[in-house]
Amino acid sequence: MEWKIFALAQKNLRRKIFRSLAIIAAVMVVAATLFSVTTIMESVEQSLERGTARLGADLMVVPAKAEPAARTALLTGKPSAFYMDKAVVERIKKIRGVRSVTSQIFLKSAPYACCDVSDLFLVGFDPDNDFTIKPWLTNTLGRPLAADEVIMGRGITAYTVGFTLNFYNQPFKVVGMLEETGMEFIDNSIFISYDGIDRILANSGKDGAAVTAIPPNQISTVLVQVAPEFTPDRVSVFIQAEVDGVKAIVTDRIIASVRKQLFVLLKSVLSVSAILWIMALLLVGVVFSMIVNERRRELGIFRAMGAKKAHIFRLIMLEAAILSSIGGLIGIGLGGGVLFLFKDAIYQSLNIPHLWPNTARFVGLISFCMLLSLLTGIIAALGPAIRAFMLEPYEAIRGGE
């Protein structure tokens, strides 16, 4: 009987093809919108989680005047050079609540023949005290980074491990590549040891090399890990009170600001999605009410031939499930296709970090959207299915004449 019900459901749907297509289209729009929005939100969330874990710092201390540029550099990877006295590192080490510190220096590759790539973000770091790049080197490279070697972010796709790049007329060999984080500051940067930066400075202005903008004894930022018994907010207050001219940025606040920005941008889209879902429910409900009214005589004859009430109920619900499932699949495919083709333009317009979800998360998102699509049809058809369930054969046949 079950296969007969399924065959009958297919026949009924083909018989009213335009009506079936209308239901499929309604569910498709809801599924496409929902899948696109949830995928964007998931990609940003995953990027923030992985990027901040890779950053490994509770606080980022920068020159006070450079705070906006530092936030922009961290989130978008836009090359920005700002400097402060290196003596700040020792002062921060002595502040209450500070567990460990490391420093970094930022430099842009020059737009001259001395550099293979112009305007690339170069990040110099201290291998002896580093807790952001060094753990990756220990696990993957297995040795300290030499002065003529660099680590490359995953977003720089023009080169691979083993290539030699010139910066300020100094050759550097790419010996490793960081995992993708979705944060441009990490993915689109070249990481060089301080010894490598010294090589660049020593050759500054010589043999046709451009003059670097790094003043003597300067750094760009101090990354701070906070002791467990202190909060980052509290330690940031200590640092700003005891060290003049600096701003201690709490990395969690950066994450919170991005999440807030994302919420504001997508709130309207989610509202539209909710409206579309309600409209789809109403449309599917109205269509199936019409179907039940038009097929009263047919359903009555079906009952008179021995079909049970449960068979009638399952027939209506099966038709709704088939149409909503087809609409969900098409909508997810359409939404995913648009994201895949235009993801760079979308994320650039949003100006937020992003990391394409992995397979497991994609499966979860697809399953969620398919479940919602299926529920859309089932919930909308539930009322008409119950009315069909309550029909008596004689009344249904007479009512359909």
Segment 235-249, tens digit of pLDDT: 999 999 999 999 998
Give backbone dihedrals phi and psi of 320, rounded to 5 degrees, phi first.
Answer: -65, -40
Residues 305, 244: one domain? no
Domain that holds residue 172: 51-250
Size of the chain in residues: 401
Residue spans of alpha helices (H) in 295-351: 296-304, 309-350
Residues 279, 340: one domain? yes
Residues 93, 182: one domain? yes
Residues 395, 295: one domain? yes
- Number of folded domains that form the chain: 2
Residues 281, 382: one domain? yes
pLDDT confidence of 317, banded at 50, 70, 90?
A: confident
Mean pLDDT of the chain: 79
CB of 186 closer than 8 Å to CB of 156: no
Residues 33, 151: one domain? no
Which residue among 188, 218, 250 closes a domain? 250
Q: Which residue has the higher pLDDT, 197 or 20?
A: 197
Residues 278, 197: one domain? no
Q: Which residue has the higher pLDDT, 195 or 144?
A: 195
Give backbone dihedrals phi and psi of 167, rounded to 5 degrees, phi first.
Answer: -130, 120
Q: Which residues contact 44 (CB under 8 A, 6 or more apart)?
A: 182, 258, 259, 262, 352, 353, 354, 355
Confidence at residue 114, expressed as pLDDT on a 0 to 100 scale: 61
Confidence at residue 357, expressed as pLDDT on a 0 to 100 scale: 78
Q: Which of 395, 372, 380 is nearest to 290 (CA)?
A: 380
* CA gap 229, 224 in Å, rounded: 15
Is 143 a residue whose pLDDT tops 80? no
Residues 62, 168: one domain? yes
Q: Give percent of the chain above pLDDT 90.
A: 16
Residues 239, 295: one domain? no
Residues 304, 272: one domain? yes
Which residue among 193, 220, 250 closes a domain? 250
Tokens of 390: 């309550």
Is 335 a residue whose pLDDT tops 70? yes
Residues 268, 363: one domain? yes
Residue-wise pLDDT for 151-207, tens only, equals 888 778 778 888 898 888 888 999 888 777 766 777 778 899 999 988 888 877 776
* CA gap 388, 312 in Å, rounded: 7
Which residue among 226, 250, 274 closes a domain? 250
Residue-wise pLDDT for 50-77, tens only, equals 656 556 788 889 999 988 877 776 666 5
Is 24 a residue whose pLDDT tops 80? yes
Confidence at residue 119, expressed as pLDDT on a 0 to 100 scale: 67
Q: Which amino acid does the sequence have at 54?
A: R
Q: Which of 318, 330, 326 is nearest to 7 (CA)?
A: 318
Residues 55, 43: one domain? no
